[in-house]
Structure 1
Amino acid sequence: MMNIGWSNSTGSWFSTKIALTTPALSASIWFIIFIASTIQSVSPTFTC
């Protein structure tokens, strides 16, 4: 009985961690893409 309870609580914690991490990861990816596109479009201005 204890093993099942422990397994469930671990699974819940893991699911919660993924649920909390995924939006942060998506935001980070979008931020990196935004910065990369900004640098790419600004860079030719500096070289001219």
Structure 2
Amino acid sequence: MRLTPNPDDVQTLLISFPSMRKAAETVSAIIADGIVPAAMEAMDQKQ
């Protein structure tokens, strides 16, 4: 196990996408840019 320091900045976002595919592509791009989110949650409109 490796511990990482707490980030200097914390941001919370709520983003809507036209499709789950577009959301997944965006997540991949974010991680590829070196941003490693602490958490992500995907929700669809089905209840």
TM-score normalised by length of structure 1: 0.33
Larger % of helix: which? 1
TM-score normalised by length of structure 2: 0.34
Please identify the structure whose Cα radius of gyration is greater.
1
